[in-house]
Amino acid sequence: MIYPVNETFLSWQGEGIHLGRKAFFIRLQGCPVRCTWCDSASTWHPNHVPKDIRKLSADALAAEAAAAQPEFVVITGGEPCIHDLNALIAALNKVKLPAHLETCGAYPVAAGFAWVTVSPKWNKPPIAEALAQANELKVIVEDAESIGKWLATLGGVWPCPTVWLHPEWSQRANPAVLRAITDAVKTFGAPLRAGWQMHKPYAADSLDTRSRPPAPLGGEASQGY
């Protein structure tokens, strides 16, 4: 199995329960979800897709990860589950590295992940199978109504023991968005937790020269994305 790789880098997990832990990231190329505010647009948007996409085997990726000596490896995208990840999980297992997944949950999740984070997206809502495998949910709060709309979309019950509420990054200083998150956590408590993308203010990922500069779209709906 050969994988199209947008970038790899050593950093620390900036989100969720594993916040602050040393992690090696494998960002795979390709995404049919295409969120207007995407912060990894180089995985799919024609204006940002790099010319030097590496094609690497599962064993080569596992060897690169092992050389960095992380606590675990995060497989992300784009949308990683459009690829057959079984070979990559097996290769990471051989070098004794737990494989974590970050996915929108719209596609089947391969077996064998040590941790699964589902971050649902409106363009392609999550399937029940992926939600059942999720260890945590990361809800992107785009506006004050997002939390209630996602709860209704998911059937009126949060499907995970931990549900992070993250302000969409361009809205991180929007008082209405922050108030909505605060009010939800104060009103309902568990499983809701207020979240943040801590790696961004640290610029932690960019300190590895293998990482790519971010190419956020910022919601250019007038241009079709």
- Give me 35's structure tokens: 């969120």
Does 13 score more than 60 pLDDT? yes
Domain 2-218 class? alpha beta
Instruction: Say how many C-beta atoms besides its own lie within 10 A of residue 156's C-beta.
Output: 7
Whether the CB-CB separation of 134 and 105 falls below 8 Å is answered with: yes
DSSP 33: S
**CA-to-CA distance for 219 and 216, rounded, in angstroms?**
9
pLDDT over 90 percentage in the chain: 88
In this prediction, residue 219 carries a pLDDT of 59
**What is the rounded average pLDDT of the residues 211-220?**
76
- Can you give the pTM of this predicted structure? 0.94
Does 223 score more than 70 pLDDT? no
Does 146 score more than 80 pLDDT? yes
Q: Residue 217's pLDDT band (boundaries 50, 70, 90)?
A: confident
Would you kindly state where each structural domain of the chain is located, as residue ranges?
2-218
